[in-house]
Structure 1
Amino acid sequence: MSEDRNKTTMEVDTAFLRSRRGILKLAEMVTLFVAFVCFAAASRPKYIAATALEFLITFLLLLLYMLKLNKRLTFFFWPLIDVFNSVFAAAFLIVLSLIALSTYTVKGTLGGGIVGLMSAVLLCADSVMLFKNITFNKPRNETINQGHK
């Protein structure tokens, strides 16, 4: 009976949070949250929505890796999805932050733009780190295990 209970419980991968990728994901979330707060203080709805959406996506990917759902939901190649998210989010945040910096009238927009650029740099680093780990000619389980280095 205890074996049946262990199969239904979720295992939390705390080692992921201590890994380079986990720390990078947490840093992305912190910078996205700070940018969100800055844009919210400046009352910029378009910027608020963009940073909140990317914060949510990053949080869900972090949750996916922490709960090891990427090993259960194998119909997607999660590292590649994470790379695409990081690349497109970085490009979007660079454009968004540059627009915020060039058109700011309130200090909150300036702060949000600067922190948004910092977040874009972290997203670029995440995409480079992930892309180095992805090799398309190895079996899937070897590629997934490399993501925790």
Structure 2
Amino acid sequence: MVKDSVNGTMEVDLALLKSTKGLLKIAEAVCAFVAFVCYTVASRPPYIAATCMEFFITLGFLVLYLLKLNKMFTFIFWPLIDVFNSFFAAVLVCILSLIAVSTYTVKGTLGGGIVGLVAATLWCLDGYILFKKITFNKPRTTTVVT
């Protein structure tokens, strides 16, 4: 439990770390970080910036869900924002990785490109799973039984 000035405590959702959603977010963050390190070693600034940005955004979503901040800030529909981010990240990193793999001169660029393609696949999977769970025409409190 983390101290909160309003309620006294803030819940931490440790079950998220064992769920599919949590494991996907962790895998995405790890892949983005590894690609970032590879591009940094290869000294490729455009690739460094994109992978660093996506690493921090993915890490932000992981912290948001881990600390249950998405339940505190209900004025934003977080699953939809997460779906948009997942698909945007997948497209951006896939394009950059394909360019990196096809034009590499340093092994670090090739490694970052390959790991970036794995990360793009994970973001696509994450976006697809999240999109399947979103219901636009029902209140947030109801659950759909499939």
TM-score, length basis structure 1? 0.90
Structure 2 gaps, min length 5: none
Q: Distance in 2 between matches of 1:40 and 1:5?
A: 40
SS in 1 for 2:7: helix
**Deviation by residue 1:42-67 (Cα, 9 ceiling, x = unmatched):** 00111011000000000000000000
Moved over 6 A (4+): none
Number of aligned residue pairs: give it.
141
Aligned position for 2:23: 23
CA distance in 1, matches of 2:114, 2:6: 46
Q: Tell me the SS of whatever aligns to 1:140.
A: coil
Per-residue deviation, 1:104: 0.5
Residue aligning to 1:12: 12
Map 1:51-130; keep pairs closer than 5 Å. 51-130=51-130
Corresponding position of 2:39:
39
CA 1:5–1:86: 2 relative to 1, 3 Å: closer
Structure 1 letter corresponding to 2:41: A
Secondary structure of 1:74's counterpart equals coil
Higher relative CO (Cα under 8 Å, sequence separation at least 6) belongs to: 1
Q: Distance in 2 between matches of 1:6 and 1:70?
A: 16
RMSD of Structure 2 on Structure 1 (CA): 1.7
For 1:99, give the aligned amino acid.
Answer: I
What's the CA shift string for 1:105-131, capped at 9, x where partnerless? 000000000000000000000000000
Is 1:134 aligned to residue 109 of structure 2?
Answer: no
Identity %: 66
Counterpart-to-counterpart distance in 2, 1:56 and 1:116? 15
Deviations 1:62-110 (A, max 9, x none): 0000000000001100000000000011000110001101110000000
TM-score by length of 2: 0.92
